[in-house]
Structure 1
Amino acid sequence: MRSDLRAAERRASALVGTVEHRDLGPLRAPETVAFARACAETDPRLLDPDSAGFEVHPLYLPSQLRGPDGGFAGDYRADGMFRDEVPGTDGLDVRLMAGGQTITFHRPVPLGDPVTVRRVLETVERKGKPGSEFLLLTVSKTYRARRAGDLATVIERFIVR
């Protein structure tokens, strides 16, 4: 196993069970509509915030990693991912890939209600054969609105090579 991959395994393993909270702020209609348009949505309920039946696209919430204002230049890796998105990998010469995502929606996403995300690295597993080993990290996220309560639970897997 390459030294940077071993370092990622050690670092990530030390973080298993660590709880992180991030404030995403209130979700704003212009950003949610832009997201729906980027998804090629045509449903007016997702595109017209002035309509009585307006809804936030359900996948908008799990796409929020830093809140509607995004990150700063120093927040990103050379490959475009956030430096802290895959625990234990910051500054290491490793390749990152999405390894799957499961989303459970609990209630519709409210506009204006401040949202937080609780993130926990659940597991770090070594996979593959000698010489072609990789890590599979499982991260759970719970998105919660201050007044509305739990909105969604997301289980993400990341492949680290």
Structure 2
Amino acid sequence: MTNKCAELLANKELTISFIESASAGYLSHRFSLSPYSGEVLVGGLVCYDVKVKENVLNVPNQLIEDYTAESLEVTQELVRKAQSLFKSDLYVACTGLLKRGGSETKDKPVGTFFYCIFYKDQLYDFQCVCKGAPQKKLRSLNSKICKSIIDVIRT
């Protein structure tokens, strides 16, 4: 799915940047393996630890306290911050609960991910739950994000 997404980006002469928390660089890594990586991938930043979100990306602590580091609201803020760090056509931010130890609840179980895509001055929000071991969750998340990118570009 990554190659299909990267090929579409290349054919449309679009570039992409990532801000990754739970995926810890996995999305950028997958795009870097594509034969189209040199045409589409600008870069990425991993903000796995909350202190990176606060101290490097200047995400307000109050936002994290109000909604948790693994939330749609924080993910929206991350995608906004990406625009000041990178110059690309699409920006993708991702947070979530890859494994136990985060802000999991009954309504937000382990495997819950939030991701946002910013494209042509539009913010697109997504939430999904991925099952299985961490590696399987990451593969599933990558596929979902690539499909969403394709859908967003085609709209």
Shorter-chain TM range is under 0.3
Greater relative CO, 1 or 2 (CA 8 Å, sep 6+): 1
Structure (1/2) with the larger strand percentage: 1
TM-score (normalised: structure 2): 0.25
Q: Greater helix share, 1 or 2? A: 2
Based on CA coordinates, which of the two structures has the bigger radius of gyration? 1
> TM-score, with normalisation over the residues of structure 1?
0.24
